[in-house]
């Protein structure tokens, strides 16, 4: 058995490289490019609103933020006068949001605690569905429900508060005007922020380290003691973050506030008195009849609102994320 | 085949309350009902809510006192805490029930078949309820949803792929920005599209421009939900794909995305549910029209929320009735989407 010995040719080793194929390169660059969309959109929003609102910023200067009047008119001689400042509306936004936070946040946090530690499984599932459902209701529905259903009760409660605490200036009501007050708007908003605050709080409570919970039980704590000594100290920061996310929602809410609030361009800090406003609803109120400079001013107001909500949301996110990370 | 094990030992369930332990609780329950009745009769407290509030506080107080006597102050604090939490959960139910009931009760009287075949072109908001319909609003809403979907789903899913598949150095930052974008107030989205598209390009108010504004609101929802869904896909699948010699692109396109199919569908539906009821951005971008406009690229359009908004604004009996009926139709749409998303999500998990 002899076979001719062939001169074997040693193949040149294949060149090894870890360069991705063309298809992968296209895929990666496309996906990476698209992922920047949120950054681009946020930048563009800020840029365009600033650009279009610049005329108003320039003509009003710093008093655009602090001014308490909204007048733009042309007199007989053709001179244009503008006195535009969103100070009153910023104040109104804050007032309504505070009412919403004071009522909505405790309710949401307690609900989240109940869901996380007390509720039986079936009730828990049902309640979570209900809270998710709340998040999907359109804001115009909240507005109409607030106007037709909640307001009569809210006025009744407002009268009770006024009767007992009317001597505190905050709860004073001139001329007995209780309808469409910041109090009513705040109540509607407090219902609207329940879903976000509840779900964030629940997410945070779920991150509580299990060994600490079990340690508390092992030391003989009952549920409440465990919550007080383990869950709340762990989650406190995160809950503050959740509350701030709710605050961001409350700042930006437009249609529901517009529907229930008696929009008056003035500073009114009597919560129960029927006059108030917020930046967002002011924008849609004045939009239809706005002149050039007013339109610019409304866009500028939009810029301020955008900046405000963006900062609040980013800060809140930062806090929540840190708390969640701490648990892992 | 299952073997049966004979045993005389009865399972012990020490956490179940014995009748002897239950008796005081039943007594407390009955006593609270009686005391609540007395209080309601004797004091000016009236109404169902007051009754519920008094009853819950009565049960809490009596149980508190009983537990304090038998088990001490720490156990009684637990009674107070748990009853406050249960009340909070109960209060959260109330607005939802009230909203659903109000919408059905007020919306149903305005329902009639021609709602879905006629627009408001030959009727005004003040004319009798049987005239006119929602066709223009439904057509507008369909266009709005369609275009927002076409734009935001690819963008959202691709962003989610960046966050889960590439996990590039910018992931944390992108995630942060997506989160920040989800907090943009809806009115700002409308103002932005007005300031950029309507003022700078030849496009005027139309369904397409309206959907651009809605896209800004829908994108974060789609991105976040898709990211969560893609994170659930086991890494084994990705590694298997790569081990078979597939490129990353083929792995993602033929393994990861198909595996996450139903989850991505849920993300889409949730995004649609998020924008279907938006009113504020459309005030700047959609215009006002009473007839049906089948051209989404030019001419004003309408949508269900805008229809409701106008009806409510006019404030006459007929107009408000139209608004309630409009919101009933809108709510049915949103609840349908919500249920669909849940059903698909549950099947995907199951």
Looking at the fold, whether A111 and A185 belong to one and the same domain comes out as: yes
Looking at the fold, whether A39 and A151 belong to one and the same domain comes out as: no
Looking at the fold, whether A28 and A77 belong to one and the same domain comes out as: yes
User: In whole angstroms, how far apart are CA A237 and each of A317, A318, A323, B51, B64?
Assistant: 11, 10, 7, 36, 31
Confidence at residue A215, expressed as pLDDT on a 0 to 100 scale? 95
| Residue A306, domain CATH | 1.10.3720.10
CA B70 distance to own-chain centroid = 45
pTM score, whole prediction: 0.89
If one counts the domains in chain A, the total is 2
Domain range for A298: 88-327
In a domain, A74, yes or no: yes
Min Cα separation B257/chain A (Å): 14
Looking at the fold, whether A43 and A183 belong to one and the same domain comes out as: no
Kindly state the tokens that stand for B231.
């994170």
A32, A67, A83 - which closes a domain: A83
In a domain, A136, yes or no: yes
In a domain, A18, yes or no: no
Confidence at residue A122, expressed as pLDDT on a 0 to 100 scale? 93
Tell me the domains of chain B and their CATH numbers.
Answer: 19-109 (no CATH), 135-349 (1.10.3720.10)
Looking at the fold, whether A194 and A253 belong to one and the same domain comes out as: yes
Min Cα separation A3/chain B (Å): 38
Confidence at residue B188, expressed as pLDDT on a 0 to 100 scale? 95
In a domain, A95, yes or no: yes
Confidence at residue B344, expressed as pLDDT on a 0 to 100 scale? 87
E strand or H helix at A84, and its extent? strand A80-84
Looking at the fold, whether A78 and A212 belong to one and the same domain comes out as: no
Question: Which residues of chain A are modeled with pLDDT < 50?
Answer: none
In a domain, A313, yes or no: yes
A64, A83, A102 - which closes a domain: A83
In a domain, A133, yes or no: yes
CA A262 distance to own-chain centroid = 22
Contact criterion met (CB below 8 Å) for A85 and A67: yes
Please give the residue of chain A at the shortest CA–CA distance from B166.
Answer: A28
Do B102 and A145 lie within an 8 Å CB cutoff? yes
Facing A110 at nearest CB: one of B85, B159, B173:
B85
Looking at the fold, whether A150 and A238 belong to one and the same domain comes out as: yes
Looking at the fold, whether A32 and A96 belong to one and the same domain comes out as: no
- Give me the interface pTM, i.e. the ipTM: 0.89
In a domain, A19, yes or no: no
* SS3 call for A74: strand
Beta partners for residue A74, in sequence order = A80
Question: Which residues of chain B are modeled with pLDDT < 50?
Answer: 350
CA A84 distance to own-chain centroid = 26
User: Which site among B212, B245, B249 would you substitute to test the A interface, given the most A Cβ atoms closer than 10 Å to its Cβ?
Assistant: B249
Within a 13 Å sphere around the CA of A201, how many CA atoms are in the beta-carbon half?
30
E strand or H helix at A241, and its extent? helix A232-252
Beta partners for residue A70, in sequence order = A84
Looking at the fold, whether A79 and A119 belong to one and the same domain comes out as: no
Confidence at residue A78, expressed as pLDDT on a 0 to 100 scale? 65
Confidence at residue A328, expressed as pLDDT on a 0 to 100 scale? 61
Confidence at residue A293, expressed as pLDDT on a 0 to 100 scale? 82
A60, A83, A106 - which closes a domain: A83
Looking at the fold, whether A169 and A33 belong to one and the same domain comes out as: no
In a domain, A165, yes or no: yes
User: In whole angstroms, how far apart are CA A283 and each of A192, A286, B36?
Assistant: 21, 6, 49
Looking at the fold, whether A190 and A227 belong to one and the same domain comes out as: yes
Instruction: Report how far residue A235's alpha carbon sits from residue A223's, in angstroms, rounded to the nearest whole number.
Output: 16
Looking at the fold, whether A278 and A318 belong to one and the same domain comes out as: yes
| CA-closest candidate to residue A305, choices A93, A95, A59, A156 | A93
């Amino acid at each position: 058995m002899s076979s001719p010995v062939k001169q074997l040719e040693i193949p040149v080793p294949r060149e090894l490289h870890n360069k991705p194929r063309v298809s992968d390169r296209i895929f990666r660059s496309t996906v990476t490019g698209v992922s920047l969309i949120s950054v681009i959109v946020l930048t563009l929003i800020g840029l365009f609103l600033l650009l279009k609102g610049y005329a108003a910023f320039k003509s009003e200067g710093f008093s655009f933020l602090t001014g308490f009047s909204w007048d733009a008119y042309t007199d007989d001689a053709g001179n244009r006068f503008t006195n535009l400042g969103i100070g009153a509306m910023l104040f109104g936004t804050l007032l309504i949001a505070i009412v919403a936070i004071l009522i909505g946040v405790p309710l949401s946090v307690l609900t989240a605690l109940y869901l996380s530690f007390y509720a039986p499984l079936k009730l828990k599932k049902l309640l979570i569905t209900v809270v998710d459902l709340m998040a999907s209701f359109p804001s115009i529905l909240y507005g109409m429900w607030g106007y037709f259903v909640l307001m009569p009760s809210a006025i009744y409660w407002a009268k009770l508060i006024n009767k007992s605490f009317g001597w505190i200036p905050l709860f004073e009501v001139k001329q007995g005007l209780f309808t469409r007050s910041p109090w009513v708007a705040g109540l509607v908003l407090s219902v609207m922020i329940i879903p976000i605050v509840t779900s964030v709080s629940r997410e945070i409570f779920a991150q509580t380290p299990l060994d600490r919970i079990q340690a508390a039980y092992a030391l003989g704590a009952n549920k409440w003691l465990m919550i007080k000594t383990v869950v709340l100290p762990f989650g406190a920061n995160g809950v503050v973050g959740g509350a701030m996310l709710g605050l961001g929602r409350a700042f930006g809410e437009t249609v529901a506030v517009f529907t229930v609030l008696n929009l008056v361009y003035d500073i009114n800090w009597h919560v129960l008195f029927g006059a108030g406003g917020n930046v967002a609803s002011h924008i849609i109120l004045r939009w239809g009849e706005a002149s050039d400079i007013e339109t610019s001013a409304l866009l500028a107001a939009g810029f301020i609102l955008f900046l405000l909500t963006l900062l609040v949301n980013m800060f809140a996110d930062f806090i929540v994320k840190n708390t969640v990370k701490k648990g892992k | 085949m299952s073997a049966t094990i004979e045993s005389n030992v009865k399972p012990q369930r020490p956490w179940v309350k014995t009748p002897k332990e239950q008796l005081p609780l039943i007594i407390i329950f009955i006593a609270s009902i009686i005391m609540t009745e007395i209080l309601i009769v004797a004091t000016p407290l009236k109404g169902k809510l007051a009754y519920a509030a008094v009853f819950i506080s009565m049960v809490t107080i009596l149980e508190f006192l009983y537990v304090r006597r038998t088990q001490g102050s720490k156990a009684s604090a637990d009674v107070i805490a748990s009853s406050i939490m249960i009340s909070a959960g109960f209060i959260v139910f109330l607005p939802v029930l009230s909203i659903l009931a109000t919408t059905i009760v007020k919306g149903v009287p305005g329902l009639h078949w021609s709602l879905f075949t006629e627009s408001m072109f030959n009727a005004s908001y003040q004319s009798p309820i049987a005239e006119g319909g929602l066709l223009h609003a439904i057509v507008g809403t369909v266009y709005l949803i369609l275009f927002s979907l076409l734009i935001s789903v690819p963008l959202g899913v691709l962003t989610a792929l960046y966050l889960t598949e590439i996990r590039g150095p910018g992931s944390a930052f992108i995630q942060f920005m997506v989160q920040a974008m989800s907090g943009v107030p809806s009115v700002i989205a409308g103002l932005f599209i007005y300031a950029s598209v309507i003022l700078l390009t030849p496009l005027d108010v139309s369904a397409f421009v309206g959907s651009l504004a809605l896209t800004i609101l829908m994108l974060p929802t789609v991105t976040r939900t898709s990211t969560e869904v893609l994170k659930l896909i086991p890494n084994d699948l990705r590694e298997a794909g790569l081990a078979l010699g597939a490129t990353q692109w083929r792995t993602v396109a033929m393994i990861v995305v198909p595996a996450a199919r139903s989850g991505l569908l849920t993300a889409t539906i949730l995004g649609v549910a998020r924008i279907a009821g938006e009113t504020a951005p459309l005030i700047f971008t959609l215009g006002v029209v009473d007839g049906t406009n089948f051209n989404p690229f030019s001419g004003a359009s309408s949508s269900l929320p805008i229809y409701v908004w106008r009806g409510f604004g006019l404030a006459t009996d007929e107009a408000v009735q139209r608004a309630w009926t409009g919101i009933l139709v809108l709510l049915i749409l949103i609840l349908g989407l919500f249920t669909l998303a849940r059903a698909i999500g549950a099947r995907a998990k199951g």
